[in-house]
Homo-oligomer: A and B are copies of this chain.
Amino acid sequence: MSTKDAPTLDAQDEINRRLEGAGQRLTKGRRSVIEAMQSSDAPLSIPELQTIVGTSVPLSSLYRIITGLVDAKVLVKLEFAEGFARFELDESLDQHHHHLVCTDCGSVADVELADLEITLHATTKSIKRKVGFQVATHRLDFFGTCNDCTLT
């Protein structure tokens, strides 16, 4: 299943604050998209989103809503070399996590790896020292075979 714990009230407030900061109104379409994102445990593509929110929101609006939410830093855009983009909640509104991309069936699942973050934080500092690049955030994706595909 693709459900998660309900988002905290704080997260909702923070989303409202970011929308307001970006001068964006909380419309029906935006609310649908945000709810879909909050209840998904994996990044969603536009076609996937459309099956969730229904055709009452036309494609062009979906794209415009998504673009706006990325501008407002509510969502982030991800690409997994599939030829189209996926989107998920900004990590500050959710749990920082990484992705398990199944190269058999194309599924994308979230995974949390708390201990790794300590190491990655140290890496961030060594990158700054070695090449002068100031890391703001990182993305770690694992590619391989998911449990379902292994059993099939």
CB within 8 Å of B: which residues of A? Answer: 77-83, 85, 100, 102-103, 109, 111, 113, 116, 119-120, 123-124, 126-127, 130-147, 150
Contact A81 B78, CB 8 Å, known A100-B127, A141-B139, A145-B133 = yes
B143 touches A140 (CB 8 A): no
Q: In the complex, which of the residues B81, B131, B141 contacts A100, with contact meaning CB atoms closer than 8 Å?
A: B131
From A138, which residue of chain B is reached at the shortest CB distance? B142
A123 to B100, CA, bound (A): 12
Q: Are A147 and B133 in touch, CB under 8 angstroms? A: yes
Nearest neighbor of A99 in chain B, beta-carbon distance: B139
Query: Which residues from chain B contact A142 at a C-beta distance below 8 Å?
Result: 124, 127, 133, 135, 137-138
A126 to B78, CA, bound (A): 25
**Bound-state Cα–Cα, A138 to B79, Å:** 14
